[in-house]
A = this chain, B = another copy of it.
Amino acid sequence: MSRIPGRVPTAPPTLADVAELAGVSRQTVSNAVNNPDLLRADTLARVQEAIDDLGYSPNRAARNLRTRSSQLIGLRFTPAQEGTANSMVERFVHSLVETSSAAGYHVLLFPGDPDDPTAGYDDLLRSTAVDAFIATDTYLGNPQAAWLESRRAPFVAFGRPWDNPDAGHPWVDVDGAAGVELATTHLIDSGHTRIAWIGWRKESFIGEDRRAGWTRTMRSRDLPTTGLASRVEESVASGREAAAVLLDEAKPTAFVCASDTLAMGVMHTLTDRGLTVGRDVAVVGFDDSQVAQVVPPGLTSVRQPLEDVAIEVVRALEGLLGHPPVESKGVLLAPELIVRGSSQADGH
């Protein structure tokens, strides 16, 4: 017989049901779940048995109401652009779901308005639907970060606060310049001297950072950079055109690109001209997308350690939401280079 007379059979058991069955008070059951150390061993065993018998799980809503926390982390989910090779999001989100789940959090996705980067955040925040946010897409400055900070909303950014070095929020990022340095060094060690760069327009902080990796590596080896660089939009067509122009005017034997998308553009041009990727001209991309992994003969690419990024993000989040909160600073992680056929003479 259940606590409430007219109880529907399918309604899940409550704390009170367990308490009645175990012959203890509600609070004791609550303690058994949240602070088992407070109970005497035999009491704990008895309560535990009742919990198992009834298949009890604490009601999330009630717990959230009382503790003022939802154990949810908000993530604005914007899709990859069609026609680009960038499939970072999926890998990152998966790692994030895994890691945050282990820390007792779930990931809540909400849609983003491309025109208004802060849309959606406000509502979730005021309704206390999430405990914190993860802000991504910080490639062009970071309006979300500034907005969230002004709202005193807990959040961790994936991406440095490029335009505001004094920003107080925790962030995690990958050292793009170091990644491009790996790529450039790899090409130099393979015997290339005329190495071109195709990146994004100057306004992109990430693009300029990655480009700096190329510039500094070339200079440190006394190799030429003039006329070997190009700044374009993120699209296959842009990469294709840029490669054509560079090949005509600067005769590079290798290309380092700010993204796999641009690298695919280069491959298009090479294919058009009957040049063999890897043997005649080397190409290196960035992000180690699925495209890089499956395209013949394999695209050498800089791979971001997204699994580690997720781990650091969750670590920062736990600090932020802990009692007392632990402020963490920025974390910069090193990427690795995945070498494939596109930068090897034998094509493998």
Q: Which of A157-215 contact B (CB under 8 A)?
A: none
Known A72-B108, A94-B77; contact A126-B294, beta-carbon cutoff 8 A: no
Interface centre among A59, A61, A268, A293 (most CB of B within 10 A): A61
Contacts from A to B (Cβ < 8 Å) = 10, 12, 55-62, 64-65, 68, 70, 72, 77-80, 82-87, 89-91, 93-94, 97-98, 101, 106-111, 123, 126-129, 152, 236, 261, 264, 267-268, 271-272, 289-291, 293-297
Give the docked Cα–Cα distance between A122 and B290 (Å). 33
A271 neighbours in B (Cβ, 8 Å): 296-297
Grouping DSSP codes into helix (H, G, I), strand (E, B) and loop, the A interface class, with mixed when no group exceeds half, is: mixed
Are B293 and A295 interface neighbours, CB within 8 A? Answer: no
With both chains docked as a complex, state the minimum distance between the C-beta of A101 and any C-beta of chain B, in angstroms. 5
Kindly provide the distance from the CB of A266 to the nearest chain B CB, expressed in whole angstroms.
10
**Whole-angstrom CA separation of A319 from B108 in the bound complex:** 23
Query: With A55-B126, A290-B80 known to touch, is A109 a contact of B111 (CB < 8 Å)?
Result: no
Determine if B90 and A128 form an interchain contact, defined as CB atoms under 8 angstroms apart. no
**How many whole Å from A7's CB to the nearest CB in chain B?**
13
In angstroms, Cα B62 to Cα A68, docked, is 10
Known: A82-B290, A94-B111, A261-B294. 11 other contacts (CB 8 A): A57-B126, A60-B129, A61-B62, A61-B64, A65-B65, A80-B90, A83-B294, A107-B109, A268-B296, A268-B297, A295-B295
